[in-house]
Chains A and B, each alone.
Chain A
Amino acid sequence: MSGSRRSFVLCAAGVGLGFALDACSGSGSAPPPSPYSGDLRTVALAAALENQALSAYRAVETALRAGRFGPAIPALATFVRTALDHHTRHAATWNAILRDARKPVVSGAPLSGHARLMDAIAAASSVDEIVAAVRRLENQAAQTHTAAAGSLAGPGPAVSAAATIAPVEAMHAAALGYLLSGRSGVTSFLGTAEAVPMTELTA
């Protein structure tokens, strides 16, 4: 969560919404209200997660090209390129739903945990560490989309997007683990315990 948005929430929580709006408006730090509500907020969170995945994979690609982890790993390099293509398409799918609803598309990764994730990737000292970081974000994305399929109001383009994208994110996570460790992390149910909560969205 950005500092300005956190300030607004704390202010509102502390003194009551009506008074808080007055009290906080003079500081000039309150952000504009979110353009997303209801199902479209769920869609915006999904788009932000796809953009976050793009940032993460670009950082991984840069690290691999720079030889940060020793000699090349050809299978990981091709995996990363394909995952980048997939997440680009996923972001476009979610943003098309926002555009059709005449809402702004999500560019960048307005997520409170984004900087922490990028720091973890930058600090990774081995292939195992960097792969663990992107596997975690793939699992989180798959579980967030699974939860979205259940929370959206009813059948429609957003449910279709969640249903067709979640399995692909789950495959990314499974393939990464199996290719690079020979071990499978697949469990009998995907679950939603690691789904990213809506409160992480700062847009």
Chain B
Amino acid sequence: MTGSPHLAPQPPLDVLVLQTAAALENLAVESYTSAAGLPCVTRGSGQLRALIARNLAHHLAHAGAFNQAVAGAGGARQHAADARYAATVRRLLAGTTDPASLANLLTELEGINAQTCTRFATLAEGGSLRSLFVNVASVEAQHGSELLIVRTLLDGGHAEPGATAAAARAIPAAVGTAGIPQAAYPTADASAIDEGAAR
């Protein structure tokens, strides 16, 4: 007896990062599902409704991909939403009454997911796992890009992008860079590797 606490063996790195990525995707699925039912969305623009429905479908696919990979790596699938953020996001969503605030919150969520996947891509040992993380990080970053454009247009009281050349010419210059804020994708807000570990 050494007096030190008995510690359960830590799962392999690949299992931990996949479970955490799945937990964040589950949070995104839950959040977009709630967002789709908000009055500011159901009574709002068709373009925002379409973005929310499409992003929800993408996050479902990402959660499935991460859980399939974690099962392949010998770990338990993660079906719960990320515990670090879930309560805060639920509270914020419940109080959201306008599309700009909603776009802001969803942009933050997408940023956390994308930064986490970017960071995990630099840690993973296997090539297929690295590629999966970069693949998903890029899609989350694209979601964030479009939401940033939506938010900037809403903040300025401008119409959503249109399909005609005249509509494109009416978009203010500042909106042209709203969706591409960084030259290198950051990782400062990435989650810890074991944040979403299945308990």
Contacts and interface: CB of A to CB of B under 8 A. Distances in A.
B45 to A, nearest CB: 11
B131 A150 contact: yes
B183 A178 contact: no
B173 A170 contact: no
A163 B172 contact: no
A39 B134 CA distance: 18
Interface stretch (B15-23, B32-40, B95-103, B120-128): B120-128
A53 to B, nearest CB: 13
A179 B171 contact: yes
Contacts of A142: 138
Consensus secondary structure, chain B interface: helix
Interface in A161-196: 162-175, 178-184, 186-192
A174 B139 CA distance: 9
A182 B162 contact: yes
A132 to B, nearest CB: 14
Interface residue tally on A, bucketed by range: 35 or more
A14 B55 CA distance: 51
A106 interface: no
Nearest to B64: A188
Consensus secondary structure, chain A interface: helix
B130 A159 contact: yes
Contacts of B121: 149, 159, 162-163
Contacts of A74: 169, 171-173, 176
A103 B119 CA distance: 27
A187 B163 CA distance: 19
Interface of B: 47, 50-51, 54, 57-58, 61-62, 65, 114, 118-119, 121-125, 127-128, 130-131, 133-146, 149, 160-163, 165, 167-169, 171-180, 182-187
10 contacts: A77-B173, A78-B173, A93-B184, A155-B122, A155-B124, A159-B121, A165-B185, A170-B142, A174-B142, A178-B179
